[in-house]
Amino acid sequence: MSKGLLEIFQSVKDPRSPKNRLYALDEVLFLCICAVVSGAEGWRAIAQFGHAKLDWLRHYLPYENGIPNEDSLAWIIGRLNVKAFEACFIEWVNGVAKQPDGEIIAVDGKTARRSPHRQSGKSPLHVVSAWACRQRLSLGQVATDEKSNEIQRYLPYWSYST
């Protein structure tokens, strides 16, 4: 049996001083992930989701101090170790995603239009995405430094396995 969301994210270290922890990190992470998976876009939408679903959220965690405001959410999430969060998120997605026989994983790279270009001295943004077609599930996106053969370079990164 795979580990649950809360168990997986326990390994993410809280970047805050112990005296400045009005909201528990597991509560903040659970709120943010649930809100984004439900379609919230931005810190304000995540906070609004939390206020609207507080009773439901309390089935899983206490939320004794309620829901953090949008600035607190941005501050806490902005200071997390990105690699640790990313590793936990990938582990969670791999745990909930089932790979039925014949599942097609589409890997595609795109260059963002109107991103920095030669005149500014910066290269444009290149993003590689993986998509599980039958499940209609995004397995992840990775920004790259330059265009490359995305399949050979990034498919092992997602480690999507049966």
pLDDT, tens only, 108-157: 877 776 665 556 666 777 788 877 787 777 777 777 766 555 444 444 44
Q: Give the structural domain span for 36.
A: 5-80
The answer to whether 69 touches 44, Cβ cutoff 8 Å, is no
Q: Which residue, of 80, 97, 113, is where some domain finishes? A: 80
Kindly state whether residue 86 falls inside one of the protein's structural domains: no
Q: Count of alpha carbons within 13 Å of 31, Cβ hemisphere only?
A: 34
Band of pLDDT at residue 33, cut at 50, 70 and 90? very high
Residue 132 lies in a domain: yes
Question: How far from 91 is each of 23, 57, 73, 81, 110, CA to CA, in Å?
Answer: 24, 22, 23, 16, 25
Confidence at residue 1, expressed as pLDDT on a 0 to 100 scale: 40
Give the residue carrying structure tokens 């990190």. 25
Q: What is the pTM of this model?
A: 0.66
More confident residue, 154 or 17: 17
Residue position matching structure tokens 């649930």: 34
Is residue 90 assigned to a domain?
no
Q: Give a yes or no: residue 76 inside a domain.
A: yes
| Window from 3-12, 31-40, 87-96, 119-128 with minimum mean pLDDT | 119-128
Residues 72 and 31 in one domain: yes
Residue with tokens 């001083």: 17
Q: Does any domain span residue 96? A: no
Q: Per the domain annotation, does 116 fall within a domain?
A: yes
Tally of structural domains, the chain: 2
- Could you give the CA distance from residue 94 to residue 88 in angstroms, rounded to a whole number? 10
Who has greater pLDDT, 103 or 81? 81
Q: Do residues 74 and 110 both lie within one domain? A: no
Query: Do residues 6 and 60 touch, judged by C-beta distance below 8 A?
Result: yes
Average pLDDT in the chain: 81
Q: Which of 11-20, 65-74, 88-97 has the lowest mean pLDDT?
A: 88-97
The answer on 76 and 14 residing in a single domain is yes
69, part of any domain: yes
The DSSP 8-state label assigned to residue 8 in this structure reads H
Q: List, for residues 76-90, the tens digit of each pLDDT value.
A: 999 999 999 989 988
